[in-house]
Chain A
């Protein structure tokens, strides 16, 4: 175990052209790109308690500097996001060095993370966590009509701020279906049910890596994470796929597959 500053120096010496992490400035966490060991940002670099989808910045950085290598500070969720993004051709893992941070027990519990550590931990101690499924179980125990009423009520608080989409590490499309006036009528608040939220939920199938940033960002406290977590379960139950687990296996919704797969699906 070493501290963040020496890790940054080490990675910059080892061939990374820049280190993407967070810095703490006047009590606020901000993303920072450290390109040399003399940078004043190095002194401010911090793991911090807050989470930040650094992957979103990384997508742009990798594209803008196609011949540079980057090191990046990742928590468990960031790593899952980067793995999934690489399969969606958004990041190039060969040009990335991930420096893993394990979340503290307190953080892991507060966030309800399924795996609060990356595959290689350079900072912090691994702790296990047991993600809660209470909300999903509660919703599932209701009848169809009650369930619909429950979701309608939750979604009726939506102010259509797009915070869930903007914070989502897996959202990168230039043309967003949520801004398509044929699918979601502009200027209607709360957005019509089911279009807005169900479109987002469907897009999360095979993509959501369960970081929970959407729910954290939501100003209306809509239980988005439970919805997307259920999408993850559906993908696993029906198509046997879990996002962010393996760098090779692609989401079944991203390729056609074989006849055997489909016949198997139909028999179930």
Chain B
């Protein structure tokens, strides 16, 4: 990990993506096996359902220096657990507005519904999200080098 961060340039952006096991992770996998091209700036975290993602995780991700956070899950109505993503949809609204009120650019947090069949959509989401984050630049919540003690 230490070597990896040393290799990472300061202005390189990094995105954390929470992918639901049943739809979006399979969608990302499909994008991979279909050899679709998309920027490799995303670290993904597979979760069983987007409903398990506490807003705390998103806050923590920003605090740890992520420049953007993507949450991707099943389309409404297609959730493997029937209604898990309803919770995500509601929480997301509150979380986005809160971060906006605190002064984090709105674009840094995104919610997308990507099914297991939508490999192309997944690649497109990553392309457009990466582009948006690159435009915004490194997150203002990133710790400065001095603070980390590096």
Contacts and interface: CB of A to CB of B under 8 A. Distances in A.
A198 B102 contact: yes
Contacts of A227: 101
B146 to A, nearest CB: 15
Interface in A218-268: 227, 230-231, 234-235, 237-239, 252-253, 256-257, 259, 261-263, 265-266
Given A148-B104, A202-B98, A263-B76, A256 B63 contact: no
B89 A265 contact: yes
B101 A253 contact: no
Contact of A198 (B59, B77, B105, B140): B59
A238 B97 contact: yes
Interface in B85-115: 86-87, 89-91, 93-95, 97-105
B69 to A, nearest CB: 13
B101 A230 contact: yes
A235 B101 contact: no
A61 interface: no
Summarize B's interface: helix, strand, loop or mixed: helix
Contact of A239 (B94, B100, B140): B94
Contacts of B105: 144
Contacts of A237: 97
Contacts of B60: 182-183, 195
A251 B84 CA distance: 17
B103 A145 contact: yes
Interface string A185-221: 0000000111100110110010000000000000000
A262 B98 contact: no
B103 A149 contact: yes
Contacts of A205: 94, 98
A235 B94 contact: yes
A171 to B, nearest CB: 16
B91 A234 contact: no
Contacts of A179: none
A239 B90 contact: yes
A263 B99 CA distance: 23
Given A205-B94, A262-B86, A262-B89, A146 B103 contact: yes
B103 A142 contact: yes
Contact of B76 (A150, A253, A266): A266
15 contacts: A144-B104, A145-B103, A147-B102, A148-B104, A149-B103, A183-B59, A193-B63, A193-B141, A195-B63, A198-B99, A205-B94, A239-B90, A253-B94, A257-B83, A257-B90
Interface of A: 139-140, 142, 144-151, 177, 182-183, 192-195, 198-199, 201-202, 205, 227, 230-231, 234-235, 237-239, 252-253, 256-257, 259, 261-263, 265-266
Given A177-B56, A183-B59, 4 more contacts: A148-B103, A194-B102, A227-B101, A238-B93
